[in-house]
Amino acid sequence: MRIGLDVSGGDFAPEANLFGAVLACAELPTDSKIFLIGNKPVISNWLSQKNIQNPNLEVIHAPEVITFHDHPTRAIAKKPNSSIAVGFELLFKGEIDVFASTGNTGAMLVGSMYKLNTVPGIIRPCITSTLPAIDGSKTILLDVGSNADCKADVLYQFAVLGALYSKHVHGVENPRVALLNIGEEDSKGNLLTLAAHKLLQESDEVNFTGNLEGRDIFMGKADVIVCDGFTGNVVLKEAEGIYTLMKKRGIQDAYFDRFNYENYGGTPILGVKGNVIIGHGISNDIAVKNMILHAYDVSFYGLATKINEAFN
């Protein structure tokens, strides 16, 4: 497995990314290789100072950095030698199997769509979040921010994409798909959810279980929850806020510890022709390690290929 890592991305680059890569190497299969994409002198100096000599770590020089202040649609063209641009080039050429970054999310989305292209038939690629259910299972929420405004057919495709992700990466044989709404009744919701509900109810592509209210998001009633990116992002940030409040109040609880973003590391961009993983901008070394491990799983199970096959 050849995993490309953007060393220059994120708030704590490059050190958090480099430490994360070293930690991941200790857990990955021995035939896996991590390509450290970033400023080669800086990376080489860090590895030398830490006395790290690992044949499964290889440095790829990319001296430019796309920051969070750069405009996503112009950044890759303006900075072709950036770690993100070089990473996408390597993925496009087939020199790596998956590319992961905690850098500029917008630039990662733009690079995925315009360098790799979307899978034919996909209206809009999306990003997800994995939420911990009280019964110990994992629930996929999508979209969580890349598509603030959606139409019913887009939500329908999110349901299909989420089900494929749940089945092939999380190992759920027949994922239960629910539509996030303001009531369980079929007649509840706005024009978007009413239209999406009708499409999903008539579909034989997904195991649609109906509407799901906000209070049941963490109850394990669905394996996939579908919503527009605006709503999904609010839910995601609220979950992060709950975890932060618990910590500030000094409350230790095994279930709420699962809200910690470090446990999940990153999430794939669903609907593009390639395996791309986006991590949280504030990722520390543990989060980066878990992002890399998840990148391995996504590539190992051939998620992008499975999605392409399903839509074609």
| DSSP class per residue in the chain | -EEEEETT-STTTTHHHHHHHHHHHTTS-TT-EEEEEE-HHHHHHHHHHTT---TTEEEEE--B---TTS-HHHHHHH-TTBHHHHHHHHHHTTS-SEEEESS-HHHHHHHIIIII-BPTT-S--EEEEEEE-TTS-EEEEE-SSS-SS--HHHHHHHHHHHHHHHHHTS--SS-EEEEE-S-SSTT-S-HHHHHHHHHHHT-SSSEEEEEE-GGGTTTTS-SEEE--HHHHHHHHHHHHHHHHHHHHTT---HHHHTT-GGGT-EEEEETBSSEEEEE-TT--HHHHHHHHHHHHHHHHTTHHHHHHHHH-
- Domain assignment of residue 97, yes or no: yes
Question: Do residues 26 and 118 share a domain?
Answer: yes
Question: Do residues 51 and 117 share a domain?
Answer: yes
Q: Estimate to the nearest angstrom the gap between the alpha carbon of 239 and the chain centroid.
A: 16
Specify the pLDDT at position 261: 83
Report residue 69's pLDDT band, with 50, 70 and 90 as the boundaries: confident
Question: Do residues 131 and 196 share a domain?
Answer: yes
- Domain containing 230 equals 125-261
> Is the pLDDT assigned to residue 73 strictly greater than 90?
no
Give the tens place of pLDDT for each residue, 169-215.
999 999 999 999 999 999 999 999 999 999 999 999 999 999 999 99
Specify the pLDDT at position 94: 96
Question: Do residues 190 and 290 share a domain?
Answer: no
Specify the pLDDT at position 225: 98
Lowest mean pLDDT among 28-37, 158-167, 177-186, 255-264: 255-264
Within 10 A of 198 (CB to CB), how many other CB atoms are there?
Answer: 13
- φ, ψ at 142 (rounded to 5°): -155, 140
Peptide bond into 228 cis (omega under 30): no
Specify the pLDDT at position 30: 92
Question: Do residues 45 and 10 share a domain?
Answer: yes
Specify the pLDDT at position 86: 97
Question: Do residues 9 and 86 share a domain?
Answer: yes
Question: What pTM, to 2 d.p., does this model score?
Answer: 0.93
Domain boundary (227, 242, 261) is at: 261
* Strand bridging mode 266-270 / 275-279: antiparallel
Q: Which of 229, 167, 241, 243 has its CA nearest to residue 192?
A: 229
Residue 116's Cβ-side half-sphere holds a number of Cα atoms within 13 Å equal to 34
Specify the pLDDT at position 125: 95
- Number of domains within the chain: 2
Question: Do residues 108 and 159 share a domain?
Answer: no
Question: Do residues 237 and 201 share a domain?
Answer: yes
Q: What's the 3-state SS for 161-214?
A: HHHHHHHHCCCCCCCEEEEECCCCCCCCCCHHHHHHHHHHHCCCCCEEEEEECH
Give the tens place of pLDDT for each residue, 214-259.
999 999 999 999 999 999 999 999 999 999 999 999 999 999 989 8
CA torsion through residues 93, 94, 99, 105, sign = positive
> CA 80, CA 71: separation in Å to the nearest integer?
14
Within 10 A of 69 (CB to CB), how many other CB atoms are there?
Answer: 7
Question: Do residues 37 and 113 share a domain?
Answer: yes
- Domain assignment of residue 266, yes or no: no
CATH code for the domain of 218: 3.40.718.10
Q: What is the mean pLDDT of residues 85-89?
A: 97
Instruction: Please state, rounded to an integer, the average pLDDT across all residues of the chain.
Output: 95
Give the tens place of pLDDT for each residue, 101-155.
999 999 999 999 989 999 999 999 999 999 999 999 999 999 999 999 999 999 9
